[in-house]
Amino acid sequence: MTVPAFSTRRKAWSAPPVDDIGYLLSTELLTWEDEALIDLIRAMAESRYGGWRNYQMRWRTILGLDRTRDKDVLDYGCGVGLEALQYAKNGNRVTVADIAVDNTLLAERVLGLEGHKCQRRLIHQRAPFIDTQERFDVIHCCGVLHHIPNAVEVVEFMSGLLRPNGELRLMVYSDRAWRIATGTEPPRGPVEDHSEFVRYWQHWDPIGGYADWYDRPRLAERFGEWFRIDTCAYLTEHGEYMGAVLVRR
């Protein structure tokens, strides 16, 4: 199967996911009144951090949302800005980046409504890189990397954005996600060559047209040249989501 073009994926992800609600266009969310938007983000936070995604508090603990303070953080694939807001609340300097410009505008507004400043907004270019000379202590990449076909190239690029010993924090679909969706063993090679590929990505995200899977060996094989794996664990009770912290070599 042909992987969707970057422009196609950009259009799809201009409607970022809102937990337990669906995919909402950022252009529409930007027209909402402040109070309604605040209520939506707070409901999303309650769902994510008080629900099944944060099983035994693993999401917040493994991804380090509460242990990071006074750091330069890049939220790479910020969506509506929920996780960027968590870092901002803890006194970090937060930059947001996304494939869609309206997503970054929305994330900036969300931070502002809660009394926090967005340092900069960056747009993914060239499938998908960003143009910046800044360096960061943490790159937070939640629910994004598994949707990037050229992930190895992108993670190598990310390593250049991090300071020495900087952290790349990932939430990705796991090997168990593949098994849950397809009833088959996950392929070690390119996912798009597998007969169950369409079934897999449509099960987890009915938009975007591409999704990969990860486990510890796959992370090490693909990204070990630039990062060592500090932490890797399933986040949810059934293990469809995996959290990983990679430290720049």
Structural domain contains residue 1: no
- With a CB cutoff of 8 Å and minimum separation 6, the contacts of 224 are none
Pairwise CA distance, residues 68 & 65, whole Å: 6
Sign of CA dihedral 234, 152, 71, 87: negative
Q: Write out the residue range of the structural domain in which residue 60 sits.
A: 6-248
Q: Which residues of the chain have pLDDT under 70?
A: 127-128
Structural domain contains residue 228: yes
Structural domain contains residue 93: yes
Structural domain contains residue 190: yes
H or E element that contains 127: none
Structural domain contains residue 237: yes
As for how many domains the chain has, the answer is 1
pTM score, two decimals?
0.97
Structural domain contains residue 214: yes
Report the CATH number that the domain containing residue 168 is assigned in CATH.
3.40.50.150
Structural domain contains residue 225: yes
pLDDT for 50 equals: 97
How do residues 211-227 score in pLDDT, each as one tens digit?
A: 999 999 999 999 999 99
Tell me how far apart the terminal alpha carbons of the chain are, to the nearest angstrom. 35
Structural domain contains residue 65: yes
The one-letter amino acid at 188: R
Helix-then-strand count for the chain, H and E: 10, 9
Query: Coil, strand or helix: which one is 72?
Result: strand
The one-letter amino acid at 51: G
pLDDT for 98 equals: 97
Pairwise CA distance, residues 129 & 168, whole Å: 15
How do residues 141-187 score in pLDDT, each as one tens digit?
A: 999 999 999 999 999 999 999 999 999 999 999 999 999 999 999 99
